[in-house]
Structure 1
């Protein structure tokens, strides 16, 4: 069984009729609600067959029928002159007639050929009057004849039959027409408001419900294509269903369609090329890090020089010194010294990393968790887990002691609070402002930390990182471990 594909090719514009016949040859127009057929009466086949739709574009000329490249792309812009099977929009009908006469090589101001046009059964007099007005006053046709397409077909195919029941299946409705003694019994004609359009929409909904992920790919044009290519009328529906339940019959008649898709090209990069590509990306990241570190180094050096300059002002002009500290958001000489020390450490760290890069020293590759696990012998895993748990307990106890100390420092009569007050009183009883050298020595920073216990410690993030690392190792080596143990 072969896989079928949808015929989604763009429509081909209708050609221009090359040899225009004499004026006595009528123009036949089958003005259908789904498709319009037009041509000269002496031809066996219609010269043009196109959908009875018009695409109205803003700022551009209207497009008719087969001149629309892809109907699905502009379906929301499509217009039709029909309301069910009756022409109601005569400005759209005029555009369709202009299109027909232009492709039939009629370029004169009037149409000199007689017109034969189909219409629906029991067409209202007002609608026929409007069509007559359009043909006679707009196109100056010499004469026009209206007829029913189903009866034209019947008398052409069965000219010798006088009694029949004609079933006319249209796009929006169906008609059952009885013929008796070669004449239509108009009072007995019946209309059913179901037609080809309803079949197309039912097919579309069935496909969308059967394949929800492909609902957007199931267009109305593809549903129309399937109906016209594979749908058929059966004499006994129940018997046909029984046949389709047979797997062998199903496989012999089923049609499988492949929706259009874009195949992704498989990259044929081997292992060596992938490694080289990864090295190039790593080198690019290293260069970006070097550039970022150099920018940060330059910024830190400028800031350090500024702080050192302010520190030197302490000996020259205390008012300017204090104002400069306030502008920088620093409260004391101790904070100034701490900032200078921190910048010095940061600058030295960045310079050492830049030197490693310039000397070609690459960072050691990270060892995966699997590799770490393989480095520890199985007989030492238990002791290793105990050691990790001990380290975690010590870190948690150390953190809890600091937290308890901060709580006690907030109380007045605790030993820690009294210790802070003693240090403050000793500082207040010291020398005057002119001879105050507090903050110039590194030991003074220890005093600052002692009286600022509630500010926490800079190593809290490092402790948290260490705890997370211990948790990860314990999860790997101890299956029963929980971080809340």
Structure 2
């Protein structure tokens, strides 16, 4: 696999002697590589790997470090997640680690598979011996290095700042990194790892929490909150509050002091184009085009009408010719003649002639003669209904049942049609009255309509809650959803359950005699759901709410529905509510309480659901873990508290940790909190300083030592930080 996006390769690799160590600060966020004794690392890159595919060839490539936007047009990154060799701050994916070390050694100028320089690589506090052994195996077996040494990055940072005079020989180092935070006591220049303290909270969790808050607050701009962008916002705008509760109350009350602390991030916004009024020439041109289109449509309609008239005339001539032939046919040959034409009787042909004649008149635009249909009495249409059953034959009984069914169905359809016409007339009358009220006083009418809409919405919402929770026996609504099934049932449903229980109880007593009596079969009718008074369909309030909402949307463009109305009883759904167009204000992201709430999880991890100690509390825990013979140095430890790591760049963290330590230390104790000269690079600076010392060659172990002594010797191995 090919590598992409490589920084400039070093060309002076051959100028360094073979005993000059290569220093690798292997952090969970960044990896820094350089030569021992130099002031700065040669290059720094993200400690991640990504394997996207080429859009044209489909070939997979390995991209180490930061993403180059220039490569996005060539590679598909949508299905290539970032992979890190770390779990928290422990290396566990050594296949990924091998890719990163290949990249580091190739960039520093190594030619060939073998690296003939000692390696000093950093690791986490109390690194598991399995991870340390696998790292040694990778370095010795794959790269053939002569020797390797391990050291803790926080201790290297403390030693570098001790050389600069920032901290003392005894003290505490508070290191808050990408995924974890540590507190390590330093006594006589050496770290006491037995008393160290760790919390699984770091800069990654701060960024992720900020990304969640912004996504919830601005759901329409989730795609804009990329992880890298939120990381930039965090480092640029976040700070540590000295008193989190007081700072939160200021923002909650909306005090004037908060205006100076609010920051804004304006997303790209393009206003909608303003439509200019068309000129007279443009209007004339559009009118000419419209007239031309209208003329074309009229010609098409005329051609279609002419075609229809021709079809009807041909069909009418055919039917008339058929009637003329039918008159010359003998009576006994009429059924055979009609079977060939597709008609049943002469009356059917005459009816078809009348129908085609009416259609032809309508197509020509002539007045259509409407024949008045006189409804024949039911006694003529259904002659068997009023005749007793004992006077009819079995065949006539079947005909009577059929006539009863047809009569009932037709009467039901007629009643439904009349009811629908009455509802339409009533709706038109109500709309006419509303229109008169609106023209008389538009403002009053709009206010009354809004009040009515709110009242109906509350009534419908209350009805839905009662449906869900039910009512008690005295009619009191159940406000809590945690109720029994009996409290959620209405009266009809309770009666149905009682009948079912009674029937089951009676049948279980002895012999099953259900059905002997005619009264038993009435139980099915009583248990039918048709008797349930609680109709699940939309009621009058919901239909009226839909009508009022549609009216408001029609006359008030700024109206937005808060409660979605149910469709009316007529089946016509309500229109989509109108929403105001987005403005530049909607594309402005406000960073207020998020500025200090997100980094607050470093001191209160329970905010994000992690039940561990904060940075200030970790200091007290670490001091209590010191052995009794070392407790005498406790006073000197707090006199030199060094803050290092990327999270120590937050403004206000020194004062916050100082205040936290004062709460756990005796009154009048000497406490001094200082920040590292460079919290990001001091670990590499300290490692470079120790690797360049003459005694460093005595603290490394070689491939031969690893093969002879094995993992047990690695378990006891510890570099000396005192030069």
The one of 109, 118, 124 equivalent to 1:120 is: 124
Change (3 A) 1:271 1:46: farther
Q: Does 1:333 align with 2:349?
A: yes
Partner of 1:20: 12
| Alpha carbons 2:343, 2:349 under 8 Å: kept | no
| Alpha carbons 1:301, 1:347 under 8 Å: kept | no
* Structure 1: distance between partners of 2:67 and 2:153: 25
TM-score scaled by structure 1?
Answer: 0.63
* Structure 2: distance between partners of 1:470 and 1:72: 60
Change (3 A) 1:475 1:235: closer
The one of 373, 377, 381 equivalent to 1:410 is: 381
The one of 189, 192, 198 equivalent to 2:196 is: 189
| Alpha carbons 2:117, 2:146 under 8 Å: kept | yes
Partner of 1:381: none
Q: Does 1:64 align with 2:64?
A: yes
Partner of 1:85: 89
Partner of 2:397: none
Partner of 2:236: 229
Shift of 1:163: 0.7
Shift of 1:87: 1.0
Q: Describe the SS at the equivalent of 1:66.
A: coil
Q: Describe the SS at the equivalent of 2:127.
A: coil
The one of 25, 39, 52 equivalent to 1:30 is: 25
Partner of 1:448: none
Q: Describe the SS at the equivalent of 1:294.
A: helix
What's the Cα RMSD here?
Answer: 4.5
Q: Does 1:206 align with 2:177?
A: no
Q: Describe the SS at the equivalent of 1:133.
A: helix
* Structure 1: distance between partners of 2:377 and 2:144: 104
Q: Which has the higher contact order (CA 8 A, sep 6+)?
A: 2
CA shift digits 1:170-193 (9 cap, x unpaired): 222111000010111111111112
| Alpha carbons 2:13, 2:110 under 8 Å: kept | no
Q: How many residues align?
A: 373
* Structure 2: distance between partners of 1:224 and 1:207: 12
Partner of 2:50: 55
The one of 174, 181, 195 equivalent to 1:174 is: 181
Change (3 A) 1:247 1:281: farther
Q: Describe the SS at the equivalent of 2:206.
A: helix
| Alpha carbons 2:180, 2:199 under 8 Å: kept | yes
Tell me which stretches of 4 or more aligned residues in structure 1 moved more than 6 Å: 70-73, 242-246, 317-321, 327-331, 401-404, 466-470
| Alpha carbons 2:21, 2:117 under 8 Å: kept | yes
Partner of 2:266: 258
Partner of 1:294: 303
* Structure 2: distance between partners of 1:126 and 1:35: 23
Shift of 1:349: 4.0
Deviates more, 1:327-336 or 1:173-182: 327-336
* Structure 2: distance between partners of 1:241 and 1:151: 36
| Alpha carbons 2:316, 2:357 under 8 Å: kept | no
Deviates more, 1:306-315 or 1:156-165: 306-315
Shift of 1:477: 7.8
Alignment of 1:113-152 (within 5 A): 113-152=117-156
Shift of 1:66: 1.6
* Structure 2: distance between partners of 1:148 and 1:306: 101
Partner of 1:348: 364
| Alpha carbons 1:16, 1:102 under 8 Å: kept | no
| Alpha carbons 1:162, 1:181 under 8 Å: kept | yes
Shift of 1:107: 4.7
Alignment of 1:233-248 (within 5 A): 233-237=240-244, 247-248=255-256
| Alpha carbons 2:52, 2:76 under 8 Å: kept | no
| Alpha carbons 1:72, 1:221 under 8 Å: kept | no
Deviates more, 1:316-325 or 1:214-223: 316-325
| Alpha carbons 1:88, 1:127 under 8 Å: kept | yes
CA shift digits 1:76-121 (9 cap, x unpaired): 7222211111111111112222333343344523334433322111
Shift of 1:406: 7.0
* Structure 1: distance between partners of 2:107 and 2:287: 63
| Alpha carbons 2:184, 2:197 under 8 Å: kept | yes
| Alpha carbons 2:5, 2:63 under 8 Å: kept | no
CA shift digits 1:106-165 (9 cap, x unpaired): 452333443332211111111111112222222223333322111122111222531110
Partner of 2:318: 309
TM-score scaled by structure 2?
Answer: 0.44
| Alpha carbons 1:31, 1:117 under 8 Å: kept | yes
| Alpha carbons 1:310, 1:321 under 8 Å: kept | no
Partner of 2:276: 268
Q: Describe the SS at the equivalent of 1:176.
A: strand
Q: Does 1:154 align with 2:168?
A: no
Change (3 A) 1:92 1:304: farther
